Copies of this chain bind each other. A is one copy, B any other.
Amino acid sequence: MSTFGTLFRVTTYGESHCASVGAIIDGCPPGMPLSDVDIQPQMTRRRPGQSALTTPRNEADAVQIQSGVEAGVTLGTPIGLMVKNKDQRPHDYTETDHYPRPSHADWTYLLKYGLKASSGGGRSSARETIGRVAAGTIAERYLKMAYGVEIVAFVSSVGKIHLPESATDDDLLSEDYLKLLSSITREQVDENPVRCPHEETADLMQERIIEAKSKADSIGGTVTCVIRRSPVGLGEPVFDKLEAKLAHAMLSIPATKGFEIGSGFKGTEFAGSVHNDAFIKKPDGKLGTKTNRSGGVQGGISNGEDIYFKIAFKSPATISQEQTTAKYSGEAGVLATRGRHDPCVVPRAVPIVEAMAALVIMDAVLIQNSRAFTASLLPPLETPLPPSMVIPNETQQEKIVDDIVAKGL
Contact = CB atoms under 8 A, between A and B. Distances in A.
Contacts of A188: none
Interface in A216-245: 217-222, 232-233, 236-241, 243-245
Contact of A379 (B65, B145, B219): B145
Interface string A59-86: 0000011111111110111111010000
A198 to B, nearest CB: 17
Interface stretch (A25-33, A40-48, A49-57, A177-185): A25-33
Copies of this polypeptide in the complex: 4
A13 B68 contact: yes
Q: Which of the four size classes fits the interface of chain A?
A: 35 or more
A99 to B, nearest CB: 8
A137 interface: no
A129 to B, nearest CB: 9
A362 to B, nearest CB: 9
Given A3-B26, A238-B252, A369 B368 contact: no
A351 interface: no
A154 interface: no
B396 A279 contact: no
Contacts of A108: 232-233, 297-303
A393 interface: yes
B27 A1 contact: yes
A241 B251 contact: yes
Given A78-B13, A323-B273, A375-B29, A70 B18 contact: yes
Contacts of A142: 374, 378
- The 3 A-B residue pairs with the shortest CB-CB distance in the complex, in nearest-first order: A105-B299, A258-B260, A220-B268
9 contacts: A14-B67, A30-B115, A108-B298, A124-B300, A219-B272, A238-B252, A247-B248, A257-B295, A268-B312
